Amino acid sequence: MKKFSETYLKKLHIGNITADSNVLMAPLAGYTCYPFRMMCRELGAGLAFTEMVSANGLKYQDRATAKLLYTDKDETPKAVQLLGSVPSAFEHACKGRCTADYGIVDINMGCPVPNVVKNGEGCALINDLPLASRIIEACKRSGKTVTVKFRPGMNRDRIVVSEFARMCEDSGADMITVHGRTRNMMYDGEPIYEYIRAAKQAVNIPVIANGGIRSEEDAVRMMEMTGADGIMIARYGLEDPLIFARLTGRPADETKLSLILKQADRAESCFDEQDAMEHVKKIASYFMKRLAGTKALKQEMYGCGSMRQLRSVLLRIFGENREAEK
């Protein structure tokens, strides 16, 4: 089998920003906060995006938003994902204090969740090219590098991937990411490579392929079938972030135990203890997916009331299952 690192790995040029690799970590609501993003970056991801943040909600600058946008000098380049449907709200968000540290703004035009689509946000925007164009143009007025993540259509009866990709480029987008499933497929089924390939053939800006990548074999197949400029890992990055090291040829010295303990250290350094524990428990739950006999320990983990207690349980879970995780 071809090695991704030997065949397809390269730096990624997005507008005036260069990422060290063309293997990216997707924005995932509830998970891709600063500690997790930094873990992915250290393992080889060229970019890791924030959780999706409401463009309209940024004006309130509440505590939850501050947690989502926490970053520091070690994270560079920085990429934030915004969700919304009002061009002026996007422009305000891009020019505001909350996103001042972020050089890249990704616009969510692919979220298929019903309450998001019902609000005219996420996937709903692929049905309204003029509005989607105005949103991209509004973000570009901030001077930031702008990327767009979208799906090829609401269903297979109306695929708009080529015209939507061209609209993104014409409106000023510096890169697009295409999730290879239609909205009605949600997160199930094989990605449809021809849709991503159609986007790549339609534009000159970088095209990133997303959907269903769970192994190096999947990543190589995605590149071969689509001609994309890079790939974006989503949910599998939560289960096994070491995939970034494998794809980029980084030395794989880490174990899930060492990674989760580093997550605990980093989370404690930037969040209060309650928020830090909440994050570590969620990430540890994904890490445990392929481990055997951890049900009771998982229940114990969620019952932990202090980081010290949580660390002790994590040592038992991952320390006793090192062979099972391989």
Structure confidence by residue, pLDDT tens digits, 174-200: 999 999 999 999 999 999 999 999 999
- The average pLDDT across 147-168 equals 97
Judgement on whether residues 266 and 312 belong to the same structural domain of the protein: yes
CA nearest to 110, candidates 199, 23, 227: 199
> Per-residue pLDDT tens for 112-141?
999 999 999 999 999 999 999 999 999 999
The better pLDDT of the pair 201, 57 is held by 201
In a domain, 107, yes or no: yes
Q: Which two tokens stand for residue 33?
A: 């906060």
> Per-residue pLDDT tens for 14-59?
999 999 999 999 999 999 999 999 999 999 999 999 999 999 888 7
Helix, strand, or coil here: 71?
Answer: coil
For 294, phi then psi, to 5°, come to -105, 5
Judgement on whether residues 226 and 264 belong to the same structural domain of the protein: no
For 276, phi then psi, to 5°, come to -65, -45
Judgement on whether residues 294 and 181 belong to the same structural domain of the protein: no
Q: What is the CATH number of the domain that holds 156?
A: 3.20.20.70
Judgement on whether residues 17 and 84 belong to the same structural domain of the protein: yes
pTM of the model: 0.95
In a domain, 326, yes or no: no
Residue 15's pLDDT is 97
**33, 111, 123, 168: which one is catalytic?**
111
Judgement on whether residues 267 and 237 belong to the same structural domain of the protein: no
Question: What percentage of the chain carries pLDDT values higher than 90?
Answer: 87
**Mean of the per-residue pLDDT values of the chain:** 94
Which domain does 310 fall in, by range?
256-319
| Chain CA centroid to CA 1, Å | 27
Judgement on whether residues 109 and 179 belong to the same structural domain of the protein: yes
> Which residues, listed in sequence order, are joined to residue 80 by a DSSP beta bridge?
105
Number of structural domains found in the chain: 2
Alpha-carbon distances, residue 189 vs 27, 114, 182, 207, 211 (angstroms)? 20, 19, 10, 21, 9
Judgement on whether residues 280 and 148 belong to the same structural domain of the protein: no
Q: Name residues whose C-beta falls within 8 Å of residue 12's C-beta, 6 or more positions apart in sequence.
A: 18, 19, 21, 22, 24, 46, 47, 175, 206, 229, 230
Q: Please report which confidence band the pLDDT of residue 251 belongs to, taking 50, 70 and 90 as the band edges.
A: confident
Judgement on whether residues 163 and 238 belong to the same structural domain of the protein: yes
> Per-residue pLDDT tens for 202-222?
999 999 999 999 999 999 999
- The average pLDDT across 305-325 equals 80
In a domain, 139, yes or no: yes
98 flagged as catalytic: no
Compute, in degrees rounded to 10, the torsion defined by CA atoms 107, 110, 116, 119. 70
Helix, strand, or coil here: 303?
Answer: coil
In a domain, 206, yes or no: yes
Query: DSSP secondary-structure letter at 109?
Result: E
Judgement on whether residues 38 and 152 belong to the same structural domain of the protein: yes
Q: Please report which confidence band the pLDDT of residue 297 belongs to, taking 50, 70 and 90 as the band edges.
A: confident
Q: Is the pLDDT of residue 280 over 90?
A: yes
Q: Which two tokens stand for residue 228?
A: 């994309």
Q: Is the pLDDT of residue 325 over 80?
A: no
